[in-house]
């Protein structure tokens, strides 16, 4: 099973950026623990501050990967292009936000992506990524059963 974790702008600064909102851990450290927690899953991590690079990655993985965990950062609230890409691909996408965007400024309450994502996890810190991966793994097993691919 292949799952892509895709982080958008400023998320390269996790651990240093407003730790009172986003926590004290870098994503790289968290990702090591995540890989250890899911040894049978091939987890890929990609981060970019550039909208086009995120679009390219969605196009590249969005027909082959089994799941995508997407935190598009501020592009969540602005990008019709990313929303179109999420709608265009076949791979299920789970939207994650570290902070509770609904408890923050009004401009963060709207997500252009949510309607095309399978679901959203917000406000649970980095734990949200782990829960999203767990769901995608379970979802994959359920689809296999439905398709009769179980051993
Ligand atoms: C964020 C929330 C966004 O509003 C913000 O622009 C981010 C991070 C989150 O994970 O809480 O960059 O996506």
Please check the confidence at residue 146 and state whether its pLDDT lies above 90: no
Q: Which of 19, 49, 78, 108 to mutate to test the pocket of ligand 1 (most atoms within 8 A of CB)?
A: 108
R_g of the chain computed on alpha carbons: 15
Show the tokens assigned to 143.
């689809």
13-34 per-residue burial string, b: 16 or more CB within 10 A, e: under 16: ebeeeeeeebbeeebeebbeeb
- Of ligand 1's listed atoms, the one at least distance from the Cα of 104 is 4
Residue 149: predicted pLDDT:
60
- CA 124 – CA 4 distance, rounded (Å): 19
Nearest CA to ligand 1 atom 1: 73
Residue pair 67/129 in contact (Cβ under 8 Å)? The answer is: no
Residue 151: predicted pLDDT:
47
When the candidates are 3.40.50.620, 3.40.50.9100, 3.40.50.670, 3.10.129.10, the CATH number that belongs to 2-147 is: 3.40.50.9100
- CA 34 – CA 15 distance, rounded (Å): 16
- CA 79 – CA 74 distance, rounded (Å): 9
68 CA distance to ligand 1 centroid (A)?
A: 17
Q: 52-76 pLDDT, tens per residue?
A: 999 999 999 999 999 999 999 999 9
Q: 86-138 pLDDT, tens per residue?
A: 999 999 999 999 999 999 999 999 999 999 999 999 999 999 999 999 999 99
Q: Which of 9, 74, 109, 128 to mutate to test the pocket of ligand 1 (most atoms within 8 A of CB)?
A: 74
Report domain extents, the chain.
2-147
Q: Assess whether the C-beta atom of 2 lies below 6 angstroms from ligand 1.
A: no
């Amino acid at each position: 099973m292949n799952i892509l974790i895709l982080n958008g702008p400023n998320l390269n600064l996790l651990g240093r950026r407003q730790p009172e909102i986003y926590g004290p851990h870098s994503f790289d450290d968290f990702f090591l623990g995540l890989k250890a927690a899911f040894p049978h899953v091939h987890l890929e991590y990609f981060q970019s501050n550039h909208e086009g690079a995120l679009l390219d990655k969605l196009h590249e993985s969005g027909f082959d990967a089994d799941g995508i965990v997407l935190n598009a950062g501020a592009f969540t609230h602005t990008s019709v292009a990313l929303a179109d890409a999420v709608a265009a691909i076949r791979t299920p996408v789970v939207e994650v936000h570290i902070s509770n965007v609904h408890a923050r400024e009004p401009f963060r309450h709207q997500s252009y992506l949510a309607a095309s994502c399978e679901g959203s996890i917000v406000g649970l810190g980095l734990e949200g990524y782990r829960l999203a991966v767990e769901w995608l793994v379970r979802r994959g097993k359920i689809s296999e059963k439905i398709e009769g691919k179980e051993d």
